[in-house]
Amino acid sequence: MNRLLIDIGSTYFKIAEQGKIEQYFRNFDKSILNDLESKCADVISSYNKDDVYICSSANGGLSTLIIGLSNSFSLKYAVNIAFNSGINIIDTVLYNNISNETPPKDNIDVVIIVGGINSVDNIFDEKIFEYLNNVNYQNIVFVGTEKSHNYLQNNIKDIVLLENIISDKLQIREDELKSYLTDLYQADIMGKEDIKQLYALTNNQIFSTPYIVNRALPKIHEHIDVADPFIVVDIGGATTDIHYSRDLVNDNILSSSGYDRLVFKKLGVYKSRESLVHIAKQNEFVFELLEHLNVTENILEEKSDEATRVLMQLSIFLVLYKVSKHHASYIELNLEILNNIILTGGITQVLTQEDVDNITLFFYKKILHFHHTPKIILDKNYEIWTYR
């Protein structure tokens, strides 16, 4: 059966049929649907609506605020589930510190509250309502102890109550929250006229691109030469996405996915350029790196093509650095045992194989004291999203 796959990105869209991929820059004067139809009307009209599959990262994804009782359970589990559901922007608040935390100024698509196994009562009090009063949010969901259901329901308008993500044995339960978040994404799309119109082309659900990529990874070996454990790095305009084999982390999460995902929200080469430069300047290795690339610090302030290339290389370095054992954060990946790094997204259109090999080797030599690197694969055609 022939299928037509369409991926809507923030700068361009891609159309894949029978392994052949075409890319088109988006015309922002037109709606996505009009733009698509003006550029590939023939192709699209030759497919039945049942055979057209669309995924999108154009709308930026949902922003999330997670309020949890502990780092090792509530927050860790909720963050894991949220990332794997395709959510990009995640802020976390430890409930114990909630009175001292400044609520985020931005509009939050969904607030997730979690804490306690089902037998525990009286975890939450007025503090949470005071905090939430200052948060601008669209949706709110509770995935902690059942004993708090009544209390929260009586005090928070429209709160959705789902199965506790922490089991009685303190293990993760991901299903209900995961489908809630993917459905919410769906609803979010429906709220965005631009994307909603795309249902004129397909009878299938429109998913977020990272969700589709994550789902495709178990099949990746059939298409390109990679061996577990590997990471997929998608450095975009605003955020950077990493999908990683589960055995790269030493973590007590017993989840069903072979690959987990994580996002750095301020590591992008266009929209987040400033914060990328800021993060870079604070990194102790960055001057050696610039020297290695034979450029001066001034390049970071320039807007040239050369500057973009350097920034992209810099972002590869920073991403690896941020997940390495030298930088404790949400997770730490055992990069020593990596077999492959797959780079996808916009940077594959700018950087050459030599550029990426060069910067990765710098990282492996400088940080891990290795002499060579895992094999780097450039997903030039950006086709991972088509695997199934």
C-alpha distances out from residue 147 to 97, 121, 126, 175, 382, Å: 22, 5, 16, 20, 47
Rule CB under 8 A: is residue 74 a binding residue for other proteins? Answer: yes
Rule CB under 8 A: is residue 193 a binding residue for other proteins? Answer: no
Rule CB under 8 A: is residue 336 a binding residue for other proteins? Answer: yes
Rounded least distance, CB 102 to other proteins, Å: 19
* Residue from 120, 299, 350, 367 binding other proteins (CB under 8 A): 120
User: What ranges in the chain are assigned the alpha helix state H?
Assistant: 32-45, 76-84, 126-133, 149-155, 175-191, 193-196, 209-216, 273-282, 286-292, 305-323, 353-366
Rounded least distance, CB 79 to other proteins, Å: 14
Q: Which stretch binds other proteins (CB under 8 A): 119-127, 194-202, 268-276, 297-305?
A: 119-127
* Residue from 15, 220, 226, 316 binding other proteins (CB under 8 A): 226
- Residues in contact with other proteins, counted by CB under 8 A, come to a total of 43
In angstroms and rounded to an integer, the radius of gyration of the C-alpha atoms of the chain is 22
Closest CA to 287 of 300, 306, 276: 300
* Residue from 86, 229, 236, 268 binding other proteins (CB under 8 A): 229
Rounded least distance, CB 169 to other proteins, Å: 8
Per CB under 8 A, which of residues 151..170 are in contact with other proteins? Answer: 166, 169-170
3-state class of 23 per DSSP?
strand
Nearer to other proteins, 31 or 70 (CB): 70
Build a one-symbol-per-residue string for 247-286: x at contacts with other proteins by CB under 8 A, - elsewhere. x--xxxxx---x----------------------------
Task: Convert 204-255 into a string of H (helix), E (strand) and C (coil).
Answer: CCCEEHHHHHHHHHHHHHHCCCCCCCEEEEEECCCCEEEEEEHHHCCCCCCC
Residue 385 has which token pair?
């999203």
Residue 345 has which token pair?
């997204």
Closest CA to 293 of 369, 364, 359, 375: 359
CA atoms within 13 A on the CB side of 293: 28
Rule CB under 8 A: is residue 49 a binding residue for other proteins? Answer: no
Rule CB under 8 A: is residue 73 a binding residue for other proteins? Answer: yes
Tokens 């610090």 belong to which residue? 297
Build a one-symbol-per-residue string for 121-140: x at contacts with other proteins by CB under 8 A, - elsewhere. x-x-----------------
Q: Which stretch binds other proteins (CB under 8 A): 30-38, 205-213, 233-241, 369-377?
A: 369-377
Nearer to other proteins, 96 or 134 (CB): 96
Rule CB under 8 A: is residue 228 a binding residue for other proteins? Answer: yes
Rule CB under 8 A: is residue 308 a binding residue for other proteins? Answer: no
Beta carbons of 258 and 245 less than 8 angstroms apart:
yes
Instruction: Identify residue 175 by its one-letter amino acid code.
Output: D
Residues that bind other proteins (CB under 8 A): 69-74, 96, 115-117, 119-121, 123, 166, 169-171, 221-222, 225-229, 245-247, 250-254, 258, 336-337, 339-340, 369-372, 375
